[in-house]
Structure 1
């Protein structure tokens, strides 16, 4: 497949950012988020893609006026300079038919549709755009919109809100339908701090931002598989596991098994770190309109003294870790409390890494984020991709998202190649998952 870039430009907001909003402080959670681009690719099988590009650019400019930090640049570790320098925008021609590309999805080629290399630490603060877009037109006329957003200023909910707003503007929606983002509340509640005072900050951050040459695979769990999996994950403590708890338990179990096989050692402790949305858990003054990294990492540790690892055991550990992120806990994170807790966690994690050397894996859940509702005027996407191929990337990552058709879940797993070779052939995984099936039209 050939992808030829035919234009590159910078798209600036349609109206300037007001002077009182020119400097946006990071929240503490923005500061500790990975300084890397996380990707989304929306596939629309239209037959007149080139005609729609002008509409995309104009509406992008208007959307940037609402989501003004995406047009800025990081000033330092404490804030974003909302200077309206703009977002990177490129257009490309793809020598391939989109529907053939999706039957099944060519996971190894997805990164060619992205404007930046995803999930790799970005070290150049001065030149790093906060948002990059690549509009890919397939030879059939279909459009794939590749979006890369700098994680230090946004989480998955923020990206979803931006894309929905951009799409609403593109299809001519009125102001009543438009989202009103709030970028200032989270930094007020969880102010930035000098992370240099975290004596073990480098080891703390590297624990869940390890980079290696790795590969990404897509596994699909249809509604029937999810129902069966939830039944199998029931236990004494968790009698009604959620979709997430059941699927996280299965993936985690298979990852532990793969790690044991590769290392040839008895099972060692496994650390699961999963992003938990704190908007609804904390409540006011946060709301669904609160933007940025309004998430905290919950930690689940499994120390298998008994090597007979069961789904109910792991589902229980996952549930308990999420339950700890409650309203009282969130209120304790405000002001200086958040920094003290993060510092204490950094010390604890560093000691654990040095003494027990656990295998760590990061989980992100994008289910119910509404990506399949993003309609630029030609219907919702037929499919939403993430990234793929063999690349330098953060390793040991798992991302869940809804299927565009039906009530199933896609699991995107990124591991080092030798571990992936074991993981993707695990019989427990294959009993439930369809490895990279074709995309069904909604």
Structure 2
């Protein structure tokens, strides 16, 4: 783009000392920033890294060996179907011109048709923006896999997530990021505390309740078969999250740098806090605890990553660990809701917590971006709209998820048979074993 503008400038006699970009801006020419574009392309790859190897390994290590492959194929199939549907219809529902009083995007971009050469108000191609957002649409439903491992039917999983992405994810993305009604109220969500983690976390809890407990649980402990694999997955998620949060600045800017620093600090602090809690409660820190704490910190900082100071990010990480840890104790250990891999307690609770803490951390006095420049204009106002968004999105996600799941169950059963569950989904659903020992 820069070379094309320079050539045109030479033809019309623009002086050689006039920068081509400045000339283009002065004459109304739309300019693409190649540096910003390159960063968002890289960030898209990092988010996909989180989804396929990262999330697959993280969840795969936490299940029993007989279900290892089933986790991977579920994550992969969900990402694949979500990506296709995003191009066909999801993008336009989320980021088309707002309609229905800000509730849904219009139909200008079916099949990514009629995209702008450069996305409005940014300096990247709209195709690059659509690609980046596609990776979010892919990982969000895949997060829910952790709630139903060991017992959900593969065909039901794929169909449910395909519908969920259009009925739940796309509308919420429009409300918050696409110029919808929550955005108009001043709601802030830098990289998905509401759009990604609240929707997926709450929906995962609903599915766990509808699906029922795994056989033998909670009387029989169901232990991770490969904590080392879980740790490897967590590390990939940690690194990939730099693209998730840093890319949400939508440019190679100071905001991206701040978001990445905050992301790393929150994950580090939450991981340390989690193993400290384990040391106090159980006497020994664990790799699974370190990995889970890091993910809790990452989920909690996500809505605030580009808006708050590094000091606030450390505080958010320190708060995330005990809150998410005790959410597991409440929902899983006391209420006996079999959200198998704690999707709600880590992602849902973390995302909602971070969304609320953003209302505090935005304060300029705490090093944040300030209420006068973005958001609702004051601490009280910001906390109010953030709390409203959490409540509305949580209720909407829960109700819509229950309706989709129950309706689909009439045609495709949610759960495998008892015999299939005992044998393991790897062999009964996919005809393979993750580990063959001769």
TM-score above 0.5, yes or no: no
- Radius of gyration: which is bigger? 2
Bigger strand fraction: 1
**TM-score with structure 2 length normalisation?**
0.24
With structure 1 as the length reference, what TM-score do the two structures score?
Answer: 0.24
